[in-house]
């Protein structure tokens, strides 16, 4: 129901919140009210469960009410028909309207979002009318109404699922209003009978409700902890997956990630008969750079080159990865040879634009790269290894003829 069980709590408040939850779960005190944020969520949860109960049993409850009305009409026709249907007009029609409103309340948006603000007055209204009937009559009809009153209290306790303080308030207000009204119109009240069938019965139901709610509150806290631990586990798994597929130095995909993605792209290219282009990139004279400037500068150089290469690709489907050492690889799905050449040239220019000084280079006074390019149509008798091998052959040729350039594998073919 609640996608974010701690909604409304800042990150700074989270440790305090979970400290409170762990304290309550360990002590298991008879606590019925949470701090305001948790209490609102607990009440919202119970309101949602109550609406689900109403939706499930709506028509069964309507049939039950109609059976009760028919039973009363059949066995106590004289009371029902007395004074020109007075009891029907004053009691059963208003009761029917209130019960219909309760049963169809989940369909009304404003009621759904403010459930207990509407249900509490309705509950008082229903209980008042039934209590008043039990006070008004002293014969068998009064006993029948008492049974109906008991059913109504049970349904409110475990169907509408009022939290305990609100439920107690509803019972007290209903009882007080009914007895005051009965006294005001001059009815004689048998308080011994009333205290047994209403006050004592309410105390029993309240006790059962309190026990049930106590367990629900503990379960609610345990659910929050479970959700929190599940979220933390998901975050941890995502972080572990990121670490497993990301190069720690450059922040781009690592060799393992490239191998997995390249196999998927090869299978897709094989299915769709689309070309795959691969660029294998080597940093020119990188060993000399490391020896001259130090390993820290070398790491910083590779980090900048990796980020630059990733930024220079134009499509989210293009894969940029560190292949190993000072080698990088770029896989371009659904890309023809001309597109691969264009990307290779752009990569060379992007690294040149970094202007990382390299006094030990034989080609230019800054860090540069050489690129081997291969474009291939996937066929069943080949695989990604063939693609990488041919790009490596082209890269070797680029380094052989002077570096700081790209060479396509097609150029090497007779």
Residue 155 scores a pLDDT above 60: yes
Residue 49 scores a pLDDT above 60: yes
Note the pLDDT of residue 30: 61
pLDDT-derived band at 387 (thresholds 50, 70, 90) equals: very high
Whether residue 310 sits in one domain with residue 201 = no
Note the pLDDT of residue 207: 94
Q: How many domains does the chain have?
A: 2
Whether residue 285 sits in one domain with residue 142 = no
Whether residue 167 sits in one domain with residue 27 = yes
Note the pLDDT of residue 312: 92
Q: What are phi and psi of 186, to 5 degrees?
A: 90, 20
CATH number at 397 reads: 3.30.70.270
For range 329-344, the mean pLDDT: 94
Whether residue 221 sits in one domain with residue 329 = no
249 inside domain? no
Euclidean distance between CA atoms 410 and 225, whole angstroms: 60
244 inside domain? no
For range 381-398, the mean pLDDT: 94
Euclidean distance between CA atoms 48 and 42, whole angstroms: 10
151 inside domain? yes
2 inside domain? no
For range 244-248, the mean pLDDT: 86
Domain span at 120: 14-232
Note the pLDDT of residue 68: 84
Interval 67-89: pLDDT, tens: 888 888 888 877 777 767 777 88
Residue 94 scores a pLDDT above 70: yes
Q: Please identify, among 198, 232, 266, the residue that sits at the C-terminal boundary of a domain.
A: 232
Note the pLDDT of residue 222: 82
Residue 241 scores a pLDDT above 90: no
247 inside domain? no
Euclidean distance between CA atoms 259 and 273, whole angstroms: 20
Q: Please identify, among 168, 197, 232, the residue that sits at the C-terminal boundary of a domain.
A: 232
Interval 159-184: pLDDT, tens: 999 999 999 999 999 999 999 999 99
Whether residue 267 sits in one domain with residue 168 = no
pLDDT-derived band at 311 (thresholds 50, 70, 90) equals: very high
Whether residue 191 sits in one domain with residue 130 = yes
Whether residue 221 sits in one domain with residue 275 = no
The per-residue pLDDT of the chain, averaged, comes to: 88
Strand order in 275-283's β-sheet?
319-324, 327-333, 275-283, 369-377, 406-408
Whether residue 368 sits in one domain with residue 288 = yes
Whether residue 215 sits in one domain with residue 75 = yes
1-7 long-range contacts, CB within 8 A, separation 24+: 1/44, 1/45, 1/48, 2/41, 2/44, 2/45, 5/41, 5/223, 5/224, 5/227, 5/228, 6/37, 6/224, 6/228, 7/41
Whether residue 68 sits in one domain with residue 181 = yes
Note the pLDDT of residue 25: 67
Whether residue 138 sits in one domain with residue 60 = yes
The share of the chain scoring above pLDDT 90, in percent, equals: 60
Considering only CA atoms, which of 39, 335, 404, 10 is closest in space to residue 216?
39
Q: Please identify, among 179, 201, 232, the residue that sits at the C-terminal boundary of a domain.
A: 232
For range 96-104, the mean pLDDT: 92
Euclidean distance between CA atoms 159 and 46, whole angstroms: 10
For range 193-216, the mean pLDDT: 91
Residue 2 scores a pLDDT above 60: no
Residue 320, beta-bridge partner list: 330
Whether residue 86 sits in one domain with residue 155 = yes
238 inside domain? no
239 inside domain? no
The share of the chain scoring above pLDDT 70, in percent, equals: 92
Instruction: Tell which wins on pLDDT, 60 or 2.
Output: 60
Note the pLDDT of residue 4: 44
Considering only CA atoms, which of 180, 323, 201, 194 is closest in space to residue 250?
323
Euclidean distance between CA atoms 312 and 152, whole angstroms: 71
Considering only CA atoms, which of 292, 20, 38, 54 is closest in space to residue 156?
54
9 inside domain? no
């Amino acid at each position: 129901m609640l996608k974010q069980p701690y909604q409304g709590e800042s990150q700074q408040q989270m440790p305090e919140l979970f400290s409170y939850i762990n304290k309550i779960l360990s002590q298991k005190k008879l606590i019925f009210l949470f701090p305001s944020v948790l209490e609102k969520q607990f009440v919202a949860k119970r309101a949602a469960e109550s609406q689900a109960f109403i939706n499930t049993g709506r028509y069964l409850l309507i049939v039950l009410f109609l059976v009760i009305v028919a039973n009363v009409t059949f066995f106590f026709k004289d009371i029902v028909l007395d004074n020109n249907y007075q009891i029907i007009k004053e009691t059963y029609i208003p009761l029917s309207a209130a019960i219909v409103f309760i049963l169809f309340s989940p369909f009304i948006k404003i009621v759904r979002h403010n459930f207990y603000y509407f249900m509490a007055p309705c509950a008082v209204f229903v209980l008042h009318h039934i209590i008043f009937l039990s006070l008004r009559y002293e014969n068998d009809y009064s006993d029948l109404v008492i049974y109906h009153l008991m059913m109504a209290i049970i349904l409110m306790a475990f169907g509408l699922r009022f939290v305990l303080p609100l439920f107690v308030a509803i019972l007290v207000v209903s009882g007080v209003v009914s007895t005051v009204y009965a006294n005001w119109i001059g009815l004689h009240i048998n308080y011994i009978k009333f205290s047994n069938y209403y006050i004592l019965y309410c105390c029993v139901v309240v006790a059962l409700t309190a026990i049930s709610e106590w367990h629900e509150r503990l379960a609610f806290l345990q659910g929050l902890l479970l959700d929190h631990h599940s979220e933390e586990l998901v975050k941890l798994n995502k972080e572990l997956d990121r670490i497993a597929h990301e190069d720690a130095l450059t922040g781009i995909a690592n060799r393992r990630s490239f191998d997995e993605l390249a196999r998927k792209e090869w299978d897709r290219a094989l299915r769709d008969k689309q070309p795959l282009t691969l660029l294998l990139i080597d940093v020119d004279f990188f060993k000399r750079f490391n020896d001259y400037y130090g390993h820290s500068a070398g790491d910083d150089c590779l980090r900048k080159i990796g980020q630059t290469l990733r930024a220079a690709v134009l499509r989210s489907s293009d894969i940029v990865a560190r292949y190993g050492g000072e080698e990088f690889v770029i896989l371009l799905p659904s890309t023809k040879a001309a597109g691969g050449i264009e990307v290779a040239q752009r990569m060379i220019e992007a690294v040149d634009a970094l202007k990382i000084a390299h006094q030990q280079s034989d080609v230019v006074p800054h860090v540069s790269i050489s690129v081997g390019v291969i474009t291939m149509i996937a066929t069943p008798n080949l695989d990604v290894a063939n693609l990488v091998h041919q790009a490596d052959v082209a890269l070797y040729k680029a380094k052989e003829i002077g570096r700081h350039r790209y060479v396509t594998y097609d150029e090497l073919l007779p």
